[in-house]
Every structure is written in C-alpha cells, then in structure tokens.
Amino acid sequence: MIDQVYVGALTLDMLLGDVHSLKQKRSVLRPIIAEVQKHFPAVAVAETGEQDLYRRAEVGVAVVSGTAANCTQVLDRCERLMAGRPEIELLSVRRRLFHDED
C-alpha cells in the first residue's frame, strides 16, 4: 500500500530544427513522444503548448509515484532522453513536484 502520492511534472520548451510547417513539426515530435512512451510506459507525455507555431514546441511529461525520489529520477531520465535528440534544442525546462498533502 502506498502511504503517500507524489506527482512529478516536467515541461520542456523546445526549438525545432529545419521545420517549415505544422505537418513537419508533427513528424518531428511524434517519434520523440513515442520514444519517451516506449522507454517509460508509466509516464504520460504529450504536446502541451505552442501548437500553432511550427518551430517551437512545448512537451509535458507527468509521473505518479509513492516517493519523491522516484519521481525525480524518472523525470531526470526523460529530460536526458529528450535533450539528447539532435533535431531539437531545449530552450527551458520547468519541473514541479506535487505531494498529496499540498
């Protein structure tokens, strides 16, 4: 039984490389999101902002865990995975950790 619940949230603001349309943007983001889902099936990941701009993207990642340390570890690994993609440049990363008593 889990005594406590933690929710970790990661928001990544990205600049996409040689992209000239929303269709190209989706073709860049789709495999990145799929890779995160493949490596971390327990996280939720989606494009969450900048949907009308073709060279910018905001992707959100969320994880639920019984420990703050596990949330942090999973978010760290997701961030490293996405930062390692050559077709994007991370402009900023925002991380939040929520506790069930907050």
Question: In the prediction, which pLDDT does 102 show?
Answer: 65
Query: Are 99 and 23 within 8 A, CB to CB?
Result: no
How does pLDDT run across 27-62, given as a tens digit for each residue? 999 999 999 999 999 999 999 987 788 899 999 999
How does pLDDT run across 55-101, given as a tens digit for each residue? 999 999 999 998 999 999 999 999 999 999 888 999 999 999 998 77
pTM of the model: 0.87
Question: Nearest Cα to 13, choosing from 62, 82, 73, 75?
Answer: 82
Question: In the prediction, which pLDDT does 17 show?
Answer: 85
Question: In the prediction, which pLDDT does 2 show?
Answer: 54
Question: Nearest Cα to 57, choosing from 96, 23, 5, 12?
Answer: 12
Annotated domain spans of the chain: 6-96
CATH superfamily assigned to domain 6-96: TT1725-like (3.30.70.1120)
